[in-house]
Amino acid sequence: MIVISRSIRIPESEVKLRFVQASGPGGQNVNKVASAVELRFDVARSAALPEEVRQRLLFQAGRRLNRQGVLVIQARRFRSQERNRQDAIDRLVRLVRQSSVRPKARRPTAPSAAARERRLRQKRHRARAKRERSRADLRED
């Protein structure tokens, strides 16, 4: 059982791990040992996720999500298979935790009267400076 929070727990049966050969450092060993980990988690069909968390996760996963709604995380940072396995699981936990946080509702605001006046004053100042430059250009011709 992978514990995300008090209310969210993902059964390990829903997470598929596949070990593949990694590129990068490892010397002669890199060609013999499948140390990279590919973690697959079916977000679209998981019974462990509340609906609102599932929807946010589907949105936040981005390119890590395939067309079938399966989240694919590749971990090949370390030389050892066990550390890559733990890294992949940690990244899954982090992503689901981020998705479990309900975003703050945005309250539309309007600029204050003073801010509007400041903006208009700056625009007038800029326009005046540009206008004066263009007159100087006309006099030089």
Which value, in Å, is the radius of gyration of the alpha carbons in the chain? 27
What pLDDT does residue 111 have? 94
What pLDDT does residue 138 have? 60
What pLDDT does residue 118 have? 97
Q: Show pLDDT as tens, one digit a residue, over the chain (141 residues).
A: 777 777 777 877 778 888 888 776 666 666 777 788 888 988 888 888 888 888 888 888 888 888 888 889 888 888 888 899 899 989 988 988 888 888 889 999 999 999 999 999 999 999 999 988 886 656 565
What pLDDT does residue 60 have? 85
Where helices occur in 1-141 by DSSP H, the ranges are 51-60, 81-100, 113-140
Which CATH number applies to 2-100? 3.30.160.20
Domain boundaries, the chain: 2-100, 112-141
Give the pTM: 0.66
Where helices occur in 80-112 by DSSP H, the ranges are 81-100
Q: CA-CA distance, 97 to 1, in Å (whole number)?
A: 15
